[in-house]
Structure 1
Amino acid sequence: MPGDEIEVPKEIREFMLEEAEETILGQKNGAYKQFRYGNLHIREYGDKFLVHNDKIDPRKDPMGHLVYDAPEVLIGIACAIFGGSQIAKKITSNNSKKLTVSSGLISSMIFGYIGYLATKKIKNYLE
């Protein structure tokens, strides 16, 4: 949630909660590392930390986190599955299996990315 993030420059104070755990969960957004401490999500960059509070800790409830904190990921996945399968169905009857699979995969990526971006823009607009 870009609007809710707090920027802490490293030059002012190098900080890190001792109990914070390095994690791969979450979008890195160009950060070198990211950490979690309960619902707190901390991203470390070369010159700063960006910190925000998630509604749900993804380590405890991954689906809840996706629903409440990152719905764009779920919608992107749904768009990828639906869009890719629809394109694959249309191509299947007249073409080879190789063309069907590659078309389905490519269209899945496109539909998924479009769904993700559209949802992210709507989410940012509503915040």
Structure 2
Amino acid sequence: MPFDEIEVPKELREFMIDGAEETVLGQKNGALKQYRYGNLHIREYDDKFLVHTDKIDPRKDPIGHLVYDAPEVLIGLACGIFGGSKIAKSVFNNNSKKLSLTSGLISSVLSGYIGYVASKKIKDYLE
């Protein structure tokens, strides 16, 4: 749990801010539901709520949110695109289109995942 996240046990208080909207935007991290209220991001679990503030509301500025609040997603996407295209081009030059598409897809997923995980760990360490 990041240091800027507040845990509110449900046994202490069952709450939801009036006007908070259920959303699919954001990492669920195993939550039952997640809500947004301005820059506030609320995750609901069986026994608690986890609440943190984002710098930018993704509903208003999705790119800004990715840049400032979730750069690991952009890094993962960039790694996936770069890694997948390099492998696909390499295989395409030496083999068939079908093999190149398959290997490009697999390498994209792996490269993207590795880039995402590595940058997330760095981000969490720096926080």
TM-score by length of 2: 0.98
Query: Matched residues, percent identical?
Result: 79
* Residue matched to 1:68: 68
Structure 2 unaligned runs (5+)?
none
**Aligned counterparts of 1:62 and 1:45: Cα–Cα separation in 2:** 25
**Aligned counterparts of 1:13 and 1:57: Cα–Cα separation in 2:** 26
What aligned pairs does 1:97-112 form with structure 2 within 5 A after superposition? 97-112=97-112
Is 1:35 matched with 2:40? no
Structure 1 unaligned runs (5+)?
none
Does the residue aligned with 2:41 lie in a helix, a strand or coil? strand
* Residue matched to 2:44: 44
**Aligned counterparts of 2:73 and 2:2: Cα–Cα separation in 1:** 16
Does the residue aligned with 2:3 lie in a helix, a strand or coil? helix
* Residue matched to 2:117: 117
Q: Which amino acid aligns with 1:52?
A: H
Q: Which amino acid aligns with 1:87?
A: I
Deviation (angstroms), 1:18: 1.3
Does the residue aligned with 2:115 lie in a helix, a strand or coil? helix
TM-score by length of 1: 0.98
Q: Which amino acid aligns with 1:122?
A: I
- Deviations along 1:43-66, whole A, 9 cap, x unmatched? 000000000000000000000000
- Deviations along 1:24-48, whole A, 9 cap, x unmatched? 0000000000000000000000000
Deviation (angstroms), 1:89: 0.7
Does the residue aligned with 2:94 lie in a helix, a strand or coil? coil
Cα-Cα RMSD? 0.8
Deviation (angstroms), 1:8: 0.2
Question: Following TM superposition, where does structure 1 have runs of at least 4 consecutive aligned residues deviating by more than 2 angstroms?
Answer: none
Does the residue aligned with 1:46 lie in a helix, a strand or coil? coil
Deviation (angstroms), 1:2: 2.0
Q: How many residues align?
A: 127
**Aligned counterparts of 2:78 and 2:3: Cα–Cα separation in 1:** 26
Does the residue aligned with 2:51 lie in a helix, a strand or coil? strand
Deviation (angstroms), 1:3: 2.0
